[in-house]
C-alpha cells in the first residue's frame, strides 16, 4: 500500500506548527477584542450563487464547488452534453461551494441578519478560505484569513483606528520593521478623471497596481493594450513618479488633481488620517502614501491599505473601504471598512526572523514514568499535579526507562518524576531534563519549582 | 432581490453564540492540554480515496465531494453515460472530499508522518466535519468535533485517564448529572461467540446498540431479518436484561461468558477500569456498564465509551479503542484509543440548563461617545484605555447621543464616557449603564473601577 497523501496545496499542521499558528491568532484576536470587534463565524459552504460573480472571471474559476447528491445529480447529468460550457456544467452539478474569502460571506451575513445587528457593526472572523489556485511557495489552496470590519459608519475614525490596530498587532508580534502603505480609491478616480480616461478606471488601477512588480515599461505596455490613449499615459507618468514624504506627496498631488473634485476629496481623507498620526506617533509602523496601491480588488471606494515587511516584500495585511459591499445582496448605503491579516505570511516572517517566543507553556511540564509497579498511585499522583495546574502525563506503558526518557526529550517535557524507586516516603525523585540533575522533592516543592 | 440564505444544515454564529461556543472549546482544550495532548490540524479536504470505504455504504453516500476542475472535469464528463452508476460518477467527477470525521484523517496523519512522531502520540484536534445527512434538530451538515486520541499504547491506563478527563471536562462545565457508559467490544465478541453467531458480530452489535432507542421487540425483529438464529436470540435475551451495579454486572457476565476467552478478556479490562475508580472517586460522573453500547462504529476493538446527560438523553461524548485503525493505511499493530466531544449537544445542554457563565469579559467594557468636537483627543483616550487592558470603543460617528447609548445597550457595554462636556480638567464623566449613575472620575480611577 502506498503512503497516504493529502490534496495538492493543503497542509497538515504538527503540534509545533499549531502552537506557533495559535500564537499569531491569539495576538491578532487580542487586538481585535481590545478595539471592540466581536467574533462571528459563517459556514464553510455558501450557496454557489452567493459567491459567483463577486471575484471576477478568474475568481469564479478558482472557487471549489461541491457536487450535488442523489436525484439532483442524476437529473443534472441527463441535461449535460458535449456542447455545454464548463461554467454551465458547474452550475448544473453544484449548488454549494467553499468560501473564497471572508468578505463576501460577511456581506451576506450582514444582509441576512440586518434586523439583529446594531450598527455600526464591528465584527472579526478567523476562518479558513479555499482557492483552487496553482499552489506555490507561500500560496495554498486552504489558508486562514483574519478579518476585522466595521460596517454602517462613514467616519474616517475607523480608518485611523485600523491603522492603530495594525501597528499594535505587528508591534506585539515583535515585528519592528514594517510599512503601512495607504492610498485612496478617490485619488485613483481623480487621476483617471484628469487623464481623460474616466471610463477606464478599473483598467488603469489594475495596471498601475503592478508598477512595483513589473516596472513602468510593462505597465505602459498594459495600458496601451487596454486602449488607454497616449496622451493619458503621458499625463500619468509624472504622477506615478511623485516622490517624497507623505505630506510632500499630498501637496504635490493637490496641485495635479486640483480640477478633480473626487480626487481632492480623496486627498483630504488621506490628509486627515496622516495628520492624526503626525500628532499621535505610531509604535513601529512607517506610514507611506503609495499612489500605485490599488490591490486589484474592484470593490474598494475609499481608503486602500496594505502592510509590507522590510524591503517591501509580500503583503502581510491589507484592506480598505467599500461603500457598496452589501449592495450586491440588496442592502444599499451601508459603508464598510476592514482589514485582513495573512496568517501564513506572518508565520513565514516570524520564522525567518526567529521572532516566535517560547511557546512551551501550553505543553506538558511533567512526565511521570511507569515502572509497572505503582500504576494506580502514579495515576492518582498525575491527577493531583493536574489539579494544581501542572500539565502532567503519566507514561501509559511500563516500557524501558530509556524509552520513556526519550519520549520526554522528543516532546520537550522539562521535568520527569521517577516512579517509586526512592526510600524517601512522601517524596519523589525529580529529574531536570535540561541540566540532567536529579533530586528528591516533596509534592509541594515540585509544584513551586514547576510554577516558577 | 431576495434575501440571501445559506445551505441547508449549515449555520451562521452570532457574536453571542461564538462566545458560548468558544467557552466550551476552551474548557475542553484546557483539559486536553492538562493531560498532555498536543494539537494538530488536518486539511478540510482529503483525497476522496482516503475517505471512501471507511464509514460503510451509508457513510460514503454522506461524504461531501468536491468537483474536479478544468481538463480533468471535461474528460470525466465525456466518459459518463446513462449507464454509469452514481458511485462511479462521483469518483470520476471528484478527487477530493470534505472530511467526515476527525478519526480517519488522524489515522492518515499518523501513517503519513510516522517518522516524525514519537509514540505514544497524544493528539487533540478541534475542527469541523461535514456530513450530507438530512438536517434535523441538533443535527447539522457542518459541525465541530473535539477529539483526543492516544496511539501507540496498549495500556488500559489510557482508558482510565480518558474517563478522568471526561469527568473533569463536564465538571468544569458545571454539568453535575451525567453518566459515563462503558462497554467492551471483546464482551460483545464473547456474546456472539457463546450464542454461536461469531460471524455475525457486526449485525449483532449494530442491532443491540439500538436497544435503548427502539426497544427489545424491534431489536429482535432486526436480528431475525439479519438471519440470526432463534436459539441465538433466546440466549441473547437474558444477557441484555442483566441488571445491577457495575460490579454485579461484571460478576453475572463472568458466569455467562466463562467459556469465551475473548469475552473474559473484555470483562477483565472493564474490571480493571472499574476497580481504579472504586478507589479513586470521580468528581461527578456516574460510571455504568452498558452491555448494549456498541456505538455503531465498526472499528472499535476494546473499550467503548459514551457519555449521556440526565435521563440518558443524547450522546455528549463518545469513544473507544481501535486496535487496527492505521492498518487501513498500511501501518499495522498501532493501537489507538480516543474520545470525541460533541460541542453542539453540549451547547444545547448548557443553554437548556442555563449553565453558561458570564462571558462578557471578552467584550467591550467602555464606550467613549463622540460629540464631533474632540475626536482626536477621544481617539487618543481610547488608545490609552486599551493600553491599560480595558477593551474600549470610540463611537466612530458624531451621531445623536441617544443612538450612541442605544449602541452601548445593544452591545452590553457596561460603561460609557461622555466626550468632553465636563468643566473638570483631567476628569471624565462616566455612566454606569447598569445603575444609570453618572459621575466624574480621573483616568486612573476609571481603570481601577473597570478592572474590578
Give B379-404 pLDDT, tens digit per residue. 999 999 999 999 999 999 999 999 99
Decide: A197 and A208 in contact? Cβ < 8 Å: no
pLDDT in tens, A342-381: 999 999 999 999 999 988 767 899 999 999 988 999 999 9
- The C-alpha atoms of residue B414 and residue A204 are separated, in whole angstroms, by 49
Do the Cβ atoms of A394 and B157 come within 8 Å?
yes
Least CA distance to A82: which residue of chain B?
A: B78
Chain A residues touching B94 at Cβ < 8 A: 67
* pLDDT given at position A421: 55
Q: Which residue has the cell 496523519?
A: B109
Q: How many CA atoms within 13 Å lie on the side-chain side of A264?
A: 8
pLDDT for B35 beyond 80: yes
Among B296, B325, B352, the domain-final residue is: B352
* pLDDT given at position A268: 97
Pick B157's closest partner by Cβ from A34, A128, A375: A375
Pick A379's closest partner by Cβ from B12, B160, B411: B160
Cell of A14: 504538527
Q: Are residues A271 and A189 in the same domain?
A: yes
Q: Are residues B206 and B246 in the same domain?
A: yes
Does a structural domain hold residue A72?
Answer: no
Do the Cβ atoms of A363 and B33 come within 8 Å?
yes
Neighbours of B168 (CB within 10 A): 23
Q: Are residues A21 and A166 in the same domain?
A: yes
Decide: B366 and B391 in contact? Cβ < 8 Å: yes
Do the Cβ atoms of B39 and A45 come within 8 Å?
no
* pLDDT given at position B138: 81
Interface test with A, best of B10, B43, B363 (most A CBs within 10 A): B43
pLDDT in tens, A179-224: 999 999 999 999 889 888 788 887 887 787 788 788 888 888 988 8
Q: Are residues B348 and B383 in the same domain?
A: no
Q: How many CA atoms within 13 Å lie on the side-chain side of A305?
A: 31
Among A352, A382, A417, the domain-final residue is: A352
Helix (H, G, I), strand (E, B) or coil at B67: strand
| Domain span including residue B399 | 366-451
Pick B330's closest partner by Cβ from A1, A74, A130: A1
* pLDDT given at position A422: 54
What is the Cα Rg of chain B in Å?
A: 28
Chain B residues touching A108 at Cβ < 8 A: 4, 6
Does a structural domain hold residue A77?
Answer: no
Question: In percent, how much of chain B has pLDDT > 90?
Answer: 68
Pick A112's closest partner by Cβ from B4, B276, B410: B4
* pLDDT given at position B210: 82
DSSP string, A74-103: HHHHHT--TTS-HHHHHHHHEEEEE-S-SH
Chain B residues touching A128 at Cβ < 8 A: 44
Does a structural domain hold residue A300?
Answer: yes
Chain A residues touching B88 at Cβ < 8 A: none
Query: Average pLDDT for residues B93-101, to the nearest whole number?
Result: 96
Does a structural domain hold residue B358?
Answer: no
Pick B45's closest partner by Cβ from A7, A80, A157: A7
- The C-alpha atoms of residue B305 and residue B162 are separated, in whole angstroms, by 9
pLDDT band for position A282 (cuts 50, 70, 90): very high
Interface test with A, best of B20, B67, B74, B414 (most A CBs within 10 A): B67
Do the Cβ atoms of A370 and B80 come within 8 Å?
no
* pLDDT given at position A143: 95
Least CA distance to A168: which residue of chain B?
A: B387
Does a structural domain hold residue A1?
Answer: no
A67-88 per-residue burial string, b: 16 or more CB within 10 A, e: under 16: bbbeeebeebbeeeeeeeeeee
Do the Cβ atoms of B15 and A34 come within 8 Å?
no
Chain A residues touching B363 at Cβ < 8 A: 33, 36, 38
pLDDT for B420 beyond 70: no
Interface test with A, best of B34, B89, B125, B278 (most A CBs within 10 A): B34
Containing H/E element for B53? Answer: none
Chain B nearest C-alpha distance from A204 (Å):
30
pLDDT for B67 beyond 80: yes
Do the Cβ atoms of A112 and B78 come within 8 Å?
no
Q: Are residues A319 and A405 in the same domain?
A: no
Chain B nearest C-alpha distance from A218 (Å):
30
Pick B47's closest partner by Cβ from A5, A46, A367: A5
Neighbours of B196 (CB within 10 A): 13
Chain A nearest C-alpha distance from B434 (Å):
19
DSSP state of B371: -
Q: Are residues A206 and A259 in the same domain?
A: yes
Give the CATH number for residue A398.
3.40.50.800
Does a structural domain hold residue A273?
Answer: yes
Q: Are residues A376 and A347 in the same domain?
A: no
Q: Are residues A110 and A200 in the same domain?
A: yes
Does a structural domain hold residue B77?
Answer: no
pLDDT for A1 beyond 90: no
Query: Average pLDDT for residues B283-296, to the nearest whole number?
Result: 87
Query: Average pLDDT for residues B13-34, to the nearest whole number?
Result: 96
Helix (H, G, I), strand (E, B) or coil at A393: strand
* pLDDT given at position A219: 87
Does a structural domain hold residue B218?
Answer: yes
Cell of B2: 431576495
Do the Cβ atoms of B157 and A380 come within 8 Å?
no
Backbone dihedral angles phi then psi of residue A330, each to the nearest 5 degrees: 95, 5
* pLDDT given at position A296: 60
Cell of B52: 471512501
Decide: B314 and B345 in contact? Cβ < 8 Å: yes
- The C-alpha atoms of residue B153 and residue B122 are separated, in whole angstroms, by 10
* pLDDT given at position A167: 97
Cell of A301: 471606494
Q: Are residues B343 and B371 in the same domain?
A: no
Give the CATH number for residue B237.
3.30.930.10
Least confident of B201-210, B243-252, B274-283: B201-210
Give A409: exposed, middle or buried? Use CB within 10 Å, 0-12, 13-18, 19+.
exposed
Chain B nearest C-alpha distance from A189 (Å):
26
Do the Cβ atoms of A6 and B363 come within 8 Å?
no
Q: How many CA atoms within 13 Å lie on the side-chain side of B16?
A: 9
* pLDDT given at position B267: 96
How big is the CA angle at A417 (ends A413 and A418), to the nearest 5 degrees?
A: 125
* pLDDT given at position A239: 81
- Contact partners, residue B46, CB within 8 Å, separation at least 6: A6, A7, B96, B97, B99, B104, B105, B108
Chain A residues touching B61 at Cβ < 8 A: 69
Helices (H), B363-451: 375-387, 401-410, 443-451
Chain A residues touching B373 at Cβ < 8 A: none
pLDDT in tens, A54-95: 888 888 999 999 999 988 888 888 877 767 777 788 889 999
Q: Are residues B286 and B411 in the same domain?
A: no
* pLDDT given at position B207: 83
Do the Cβ atoms of A38 and B61 come within 8 Å?
no
Pick B44's closest partner by Cβ from A44, A96, A280: A44
DSSP state of A319: E
pLDDT for B83 beyond 80: no
Helices (H), B332-396: 343-352, 375-387
Chain A nearest C-alpha distance from B158 (Å):
6
pLDDT for B68 beyond 60: yes
| Number of domains present in the structure of chain B | 2
- Nearest to A229, CA basis, from A187, A200, A250: A200
Do the Cβ atoms of A12 and B113 come within 8 Å?
yes
* Average pLDDT of chain B to the nearest whole number: 91
pLDDT band for position A297 (cuts 50, 70, 90): low
- The C-alpha atoms of residue A358 and residue A20 are separated, in whole angstroms, by 10
Decide: A324 and A339 in contact? Cβ < 8 Å: no
Chain A nearest C-alpha distance from B446 (Å):
16
Chain B residues touching A46 at Cβ < 8 A: 6-7
Do the Cβ atoms of B396 and A155 come within 8 Å?
yes
pLDDT for A2 beyond 90: no
Q: Are residues A262 and A311 in the same domain?
A: yes
pLDDT in tens, A47-62: 999 999 888 888 899 9
- The C-alpha atoms of residue A333 and residue A41 are separated, in whole angstroms, by 24
- Contact partners, residue A283, CB within 8 Å, separation at least 6: A167, A168, A171
pLDDT band for position B312 (cuts 50, 70, 90): low
- With residues binned 3-state (H G I as helix, E B as strand, rest as coil), the percentages for chain B, rounded to 5, are 45, 20, 35
Chain B residues touching A82 at Cβ < 8 A: 78
pLDDT in tens, B238-266: 787 888 999 999 999 998 899 999 999 99
Q: Given its phi and psi angles, is residue A354 left (phi above 0), alpha (psi -120 to 50 degrees) or beta?
A: left
Chain B nearest C-alpha distance from A145 (Å):
15
Chain A, chain B: beta-carbon pairs less than 8 Å apart: 287
pLDDT band for position B3 (cuts 50, 70, 90): confident
Q: Are residues B305 and B388 in the same domain?
A: no
* pLDDT given at position A81: 73
Interface test with B, best of A5, A24, A36 (most B CBs within 10 A): A36
How big is the CA angle at B379 (ends B376 and B383), to the nearest 5 degrees?
A: 140
Chain B nearest C-alpha distance from A348 (Å):
18
Cell of A347: 508565520
Do the Cβ atoms of A40 and B142 come within 8 Å?
no
* pLDDT given at position A310: 84
Chain A residues touching B113 at Cβ < 8 A: 12, 14
Do the Cβ atoms of A36 and B393 come within 8 Å?
yes
pLDDT for B429 beyond 60: yes
Among B288, B323, B352, the domain-final residue is: B352
Strand A415-418 and strand A366-368: the pairing is parallel
Chain B residues touching A64 at Cβ < 8 A: 45, 66-67
- Nearest to B401, CA basis, from B384, B421, B382: B421
Amino acid at each position: 500500500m502506498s503512503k497516504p497523501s493529502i490534496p495538492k496545496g493543503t497542509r497538515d499542521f504538527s503540534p509545533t506548527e499549531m502552537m506557533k499558528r495559535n500564537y499569531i491568532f491569539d495576538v491578532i484576536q487580542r487586538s481585535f477584542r481590545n478595539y471592540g470587534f466581536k467574533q462571528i463565524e459563517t459556514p464553510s459552504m455558501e450557496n454557489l450563487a452567493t459567491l459567483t460573480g463577486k471575484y471576477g472571471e478568474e475568481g469564479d474559476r478558482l472557487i471549489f464547488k461541491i457536487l450535488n447528491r442523489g436525484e439532483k445529480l442524476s437529473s443534472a447529468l441527463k441535461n449535460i452534453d458535449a456542447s455545454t460550457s464548463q461554467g454551465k456544467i458547474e452550475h448544473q452539478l453544484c449548488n454549494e461551494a467553499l468560501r473564497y474569502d471572508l468578505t463576501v460571506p460577511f456581506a451576506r451575513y450582514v444582509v441576512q441578519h440586518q434586523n439583529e445587528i446594531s450598527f455600526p457593526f464591528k465584527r472579526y472572523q478567523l476562518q479558513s478560505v479555499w482557492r483552487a489556485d496553482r499552489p506555490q511557495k507561500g500560496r495554498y489552496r486552504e489558508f486562514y484569513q483574519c478579518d476585522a470590519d466595521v460596517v454602517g459608519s462613514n467616519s474616517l475614525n475607523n480608518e485611523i483606528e485600523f491603522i492603530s490596530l495594525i501597528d499594535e498587532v505587528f508591534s506585539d508580534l515583535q515585528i519592528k520593521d514594517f510599512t503601512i502603505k495607504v492610498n485612496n480609491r478617490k485619488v485613483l478616480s481623480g487621476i483617471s478623471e484628469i487623464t481623460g480616461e474616466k471610463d477606464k478606471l478599473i483598467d488603469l488601477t489594475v495596471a498601475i497596481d503592478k508598477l512595483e512588480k513589473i516596472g513602468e515599461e510593462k505597465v505602459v505596455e498594459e495600458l496601451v493594450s487596454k486602449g488607454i490613449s497616449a496622451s493619458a499615459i503621458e499625463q500619468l507618468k509624472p504622477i506615478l513618479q511623485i516622490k517624497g514624504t507623505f505630506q510632500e506627496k499630498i501637496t504635490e498631488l493637490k496641485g495635479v488633481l486640483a480640477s478633480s473634485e473626487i480626487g481632492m476629496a480623496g486627498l483630504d481623507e488621506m490628509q486627515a488620517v496622516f495628520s492624526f498620526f503626525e500628532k499621535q506617533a505610531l509604535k513601529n509602523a512607517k506610514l507611506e502614501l503609495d499612489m500605485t496601491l490599488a490591490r486589484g480588488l474592484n470593490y474598494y471606494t475609499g481608503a486602500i491599505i496594505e502592510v509590507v515587511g522590510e524591503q517591501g516584500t509580500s503583503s502581510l495585511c491589507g484592506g480598505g473601504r467599500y461603500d457598496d459591499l452589501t449592495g450586491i445582496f440588496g442592502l444599499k448605503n451601508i459603508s464598510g471598512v476592514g482589514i485582513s491579516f495573512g496568517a501564513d505570511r506572518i508565520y513565514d516572517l516570524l520564522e525567518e526572523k526567529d521572532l516566535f517566543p517560547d511557546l512551551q507553556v501550553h505543553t506538558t511540564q511533567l512526565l511521570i514514568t511507569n515502572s509497572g509497579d505503582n500504576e494506580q498511585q502514579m495515576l492518582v499522583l498525575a491527577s493531583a499535579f493536574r489539579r494544581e495546574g501542572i500539565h502532567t502525563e503519566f507514561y501509559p506503558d511500563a516500557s524501558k526507562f530509556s524509552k520513556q526518557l526519550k519520549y520526554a526529550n522528543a516532546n520537550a517535557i522539562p521535568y520527569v518524576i521517577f516512579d517509586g524507586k526512592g526510600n524517601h516516603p512522601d517524596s519523589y525523585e525529580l529529574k531536570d531534563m535540561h541540566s540532567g540533575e536529579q533530586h528528591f522533592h516533596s509534592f509541594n516543592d515540585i509544584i513551586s519549582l514547576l510554577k516558577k
